[in-house]
A and B are shown apart, each in its own frame.
Chain A
């Protein structure tokens, strides 16, 4: 097993393996000692870090990370299943050969998968690695966190006796996912997407390949979740609420503000309906914008996507998604609400 791995590795790799066998993993020891030192000096440090604003920031920061990680682990497990256990044939039977047809199918497939948005990035990446057209995988990425039953039920709970809001949310999110998929297919086929290779290739047992893929995907995505959580917590803590609320009166400004608010606060899609419902100063259409933009794109997702698919990709994808999401939400709001 290990013999075959070594033979297949390029020469540079076996060189570094040899070096590693001699030297200890120094970096890990240094990091471990540094952490231990920090934790030991806790008694001394904690009173010096005692400021209400910092405490509020750190509570929200830790809360977003703690809430996201179980969903992220669920996502990387599913991504691992797709990457290693799902056969080419099964995948081909599930996804239509033509991307034009595959896009709406992927959009509807999102209904069946209750996932958080942080789970869907590794899943989409894993689909692409398995040869699914990027536009199809991206449609799934946008649809899965937005139109699944959990999100729709929580929306119905947050807006009692307003089924039209649930319907508008469902249609606007599905429309966003499918429209972005088709636009990407038509206009952005050549935009480079980084395909980060999942650890080693074929010469491993399935179990090892599965664990390797899970570990790789988790390490890749988690840092970006943390970065997004840091920014979202800072916005929550340091931008005065009066600024956010102050723009509610103006129709255009309210829509723009809700889109921006959804982008920066990075709530999980299961919870954003309750927050939207509580933004009582805003119109229903503005609330709909908040609920459609949020699951499709936020600072945490943008951070994860630029890590997973590369900066060139994120630079095009992020504004495209926000633009389409705002337009479809406003359109739905005008039609249904």
Chain B
């Protein structure tokens, strides 16, 4: 039998949870879990929980009865879990393990619709984000990518067949709804999983057409880089 959560423990629960939210939002670690606009809501919410706990500490002793402790569901203990997981496991941003199983951001396109894609900007190689590569490859056999050297950034993941991918996650709300964007790479040996890379590559014409599969690229240059602060798109 799990003990009821006493009032003083509840106060501790509020303080710890608030402090963890503040700690996350103070640095960059919240970016591993949620969108960047969540920073201020997290700070406000963390400060509020800490204040709620402090108010209780400074309240005169004895004016509180412990009667309603009995009614606090024992599930309240679980609120310690996220804080402990955050400190003990320090969950990283989603990586290669989830890339293999995440929902793909590649959405089949209706090729009958007229889409007029503007040409890629000037520059050689031209930096392009992965979602744009997927989009451009999906239409017109990737005509707007033809004969261009693309500079792509992402981390390394691989599928069961051993193909490796330049990968990035897109995030709408939080990491739970992350969708994976990736292009299959060939031409060089794969760096280890989860290693961030910047590659200069050419799109293989016709791959990724219609958005039914990942586009392929032939890598000409490979550079290992540090993971960016915000690893999601």
Residues of A participating in the B interface, judged by any CB pair closer than 8 Å: 1-2, 5-6, 9-10, 12-14, 16-17, 20-21, 25, 27-28, 31-32, 35, 38-39, 42, 45-46, 49, 52-56, 58-67, 69-70, 73, 196-197, 199-200, 211, 214-216, 218-220, 222-224, 226-227, 229-230, 232-233, 236-237, 240-241, 265-268, 270-272, 274-275, 277-280, 303, 307
Q: Taking beta carbons and an 8 Å cutoff, which residues of B are in contact with A? A: 3, 5-14, 16-17, 21, 24, 30, 32-34, 38, 41-42, 44-45, 48-49, 52, 55-56, 60-68, 71-98, 101-108, 172-177, 179
Asked if B10 and A226 make an inter-chain contact with CB atoms under 8 angstroms apart, the answer reads: no
Closest to A64 in B: B176
Task: Check A16 against B176 for contact (C-beta < 8 Å).
Answer: no
A52 partner residues in chain B, CB cutoff 8 A: 95-97
| CB <8 Å contact, A223 and B101 | no
Contact of A236 among B45, B78, B106, B176 (CB under 8 A): B176
Given contacts A62-B85, A211-B52, contact A223 B75 (CB under 8 A): yes
A275 neighbours in B (Cβ, 8 Å) = 103, 172, 177, 179
- Give the residue of B42, B73, B90 whose beta carbon is less than 8 angstroms from that of A224: B73
Contact A278 B33 (CB under 8 A): no
Q: What is the CB-to-nearest-CB distance from B156 to chain A, in angstroms, rounded to a whole number?
A: 13
Nearest CB on A from B112, distance (A) = 13
Let me know if B103 and A27 touch, CB within 8 A: no
* Least Cβ–Cβ distance between B108 and chain A, in angstroms: 5
Question: Which A residues lie within 8 Å of B63 (CB)?
Answer: 1-2, 5-6
- A contact residues around B102 at 8 Å (CB): 241
CB pair A218 B14 closer than 8 Å: yes
Q: Which residue of B lies closest to A274 (CB)?
A: B172
On whether the beta carbons of A215 and B52 are closer than 8 Å, the reply is yes
B residues near A60, Cβ cutoff 8 Å: 94, 175-176
- CB pair B101 A73 closer than 8 Å: no
Pair B72/A55 contact, Cβ less than 8 Å: no
Which of A14, A25, A39 has the most B CB atoms < 10 Å from its CB? A25
The answer to whether B9 and A278 have CB atoms under 8 Å apart is no
Given contacts A70-B44, A223-B79, contact A56 B98 (CB under 8 A): yes
Q: In the complex, A267→B178 CA distance in Å?
A: 11
Given contacts A38-B87, A70-B42, A224-B75, contact A271 B172 (CB under 8 A): yes
In the complex, what residues of B have CB within 8 A of residue A13's CB?
65-67
